[in-house]
Chain A
Amino acid sequence: MNQPADPSEAGERSPAQPALESTSPLEWVIAAMGGALVAATLAYLVICAMAEPPRPPAVTLSVTSITTTPGGYLVSFRAENTGGQTAAGLQITGELRDGEVVVESREATLDYLPQQSERRGGLFFAHDPAAHEVSLRAHGYADP
């Protein structure tokens, strides 16, 4: 490719064949890998397209940790979408409860929670969550 005016090349070339290169075995190997990757990806996407009747988002929320912060307490949560569609602008409310009494309520918004994926976030409380019942709920979302 980068050998200018290679005399042996010039000598062996027939007039009908200009200075063009054929594909080396190594390149064929890499091309085959590329081809296999493209074929596999296409197959996967087509399967996804066919096996995905728009199943609405199904959100599960769980508390992953409670830590103290300088201003109070942080409840970290994990949101998992087991549905077949993405939830955009997902609103999440966390409450500290004493039975029926809501002691404190905080909200967070997840920009996107894709299908079959998880995202993490946190809610800041002034009261100690360990002394109360923590409840997490998803309120609503928009189609992206």
Chain B
Amino acid sequence: MSVASATNGAPGVHPAFLRGLGRAFAGALIFALPMLMTMEMWRLGFYMDPGRLAVLLALTVPMLVGLSRFGGMRPTARLCDDVADAFVVLLVAALAATVVLYLFGVLSPGMSAREVVGKIVLQTVPGSFGAMLARSQLGGEPEARRDKGAPTYWGEMFLMGAGALFLSFNMAPTEEMVLITYKMAPWQSAALAVVSLGLMHAFVYTLNFRGGSVRPGHIPAWSVFARFTCVGYAIVLGVSLFTLWAFGRTDGDSLRNIISASIVLGFPGAIGAASARLLL
């Protein structure tokens, strides 16, 4: 703490922090608005299993700490600063969700505490991701100041998982997910998996987006594909399966349908995973 006051000066700390809070609020709104305005999300808030909702919220905390390491509200020195940031964005996201849901009339008197808490918690998860990313995407600092160097292999895998979770959160609650699964023949599921893999690889290695990776000349293409894209896609499928389970979409369904639904949800998840590596 003495280091903080010495380097930043007491007057400088608060305006910058308040600006960070404002950005986090904006980020929570930008990223969570599609979900705040989806009725399936409101309904999941009360009929989703409370235990699974607790698992979701509990997993969000380490995810946010990890995101804070790689992007986050500010450049952080120590892990405990990342933990502090994670809880700050959770509070901001919960506040944003409560205000917006109340204005929409989705929260009203006569609802049980369980319903209100469920609706808010479910929106807090994507909102807190948005709040955490707000700094890295909307922040005014020059690139160099928050550059923490290229993430490690496991760091990249983590980022892909976070990106997949965020994008699959957008789609998983909707009825269309189930409908698409029922419409697809097995060969179409398999084709979608291949397309997802191809897109993931192309996004990061071939299309030369800003933030994309250039494959070092001495590493063969198949090795990069196997170590990054294939493992990444496996993580995407795992995240999809987890999201489907959390939302109760796997209950009582056949194994074939569960696999098929994971692949369908893995399509946006794969795009999210690839984008996360570009954006963060």
Contacts and interface: CB of A to CB of B under 8 A. Distances in A.
A117 B107 CA distance: 12
B130 interface: no
A91 to B, nearest CB: 18
Interface string A22-54: 111111101111110110011011101100100
Contacts of A86: 46-47
Q: Decide if the interface of chain B is mainly helix, strand, loop or mixed.
A: helix
Contact of A144 (B47, B81, B112): B47
Interface in B1-57: 1, 3-4, 6-9, 12-14, 16-17, 19-21, 43, 46-47, 49-51, 53-54, 57
Contact of A117 (B76, B91, B112): B112
Interface stretch (B114-122, B179-187, B195-203, B258-266): B114-122
Given A22-B77, A28-B84, A30-B88, A116 B43 contact: no
A144 B80 CA distance: 41
Contact of A27 (B54, B78, B84): B84
A109 interface: no
A1 B19 contact: yes
Nearest to B39: A111
A41 B117 contact: yes
B51 A45 contact: yes
A61 to B, nearest CB: 14
A55 interface: no
Interface string A74-116: 0000000000011010000000000000000000000010111
A114 B77 contact: no
Contacts of B61: 38
B4 A32 contact: no
Contact of A21 (B57, B74, B92, B110): B74
Contacts, number: 149
A23 B16 CA distance: 12
Contact of A1 (B74, B112, B121, B142): B74
A17 B77 CA distance: 8
A45 B54 contact: yes
A: contact size bracket? 35 or more
A13 interface: yes
A54 B4 CA distance: 52
A8 B14 CA distance: 18
Given A1-B16, A19-B75, A30-B88, A49 B49 contact: yes
A117 B77 contact: no
B217 interface: no
A24 B13 contact: yes
A45 B121 contact: yes
Nearest to A118: B110
A21 B58 CA distance: 26
Interface centre among A12, A17, A20 (most CB of B within 10 A): A20
B50 A49 contact: yes
Interface of B: 1, 3-4, 6-9, 12-14, 16-17, 19-21, 43, 46-47, 49-51, 53-54, 57-58, 61, 74-78, 80-81, 83-92, 94, 110-115, 117, 121, 140-142, 145
Given A26-B13, A30-B21, A38-B90, 20 more contacts: A1-B16, A20-B76, A21-B8, A21-B77, A21-B81, A23-B80, A24-B8, A27-B84, A30-B88, A30-B91, A31-B84, A31-B91, A33-B91, A45-B53, A46-B51, A48-B114, A49-B51, A112-B47, A117-B112, A118-B110
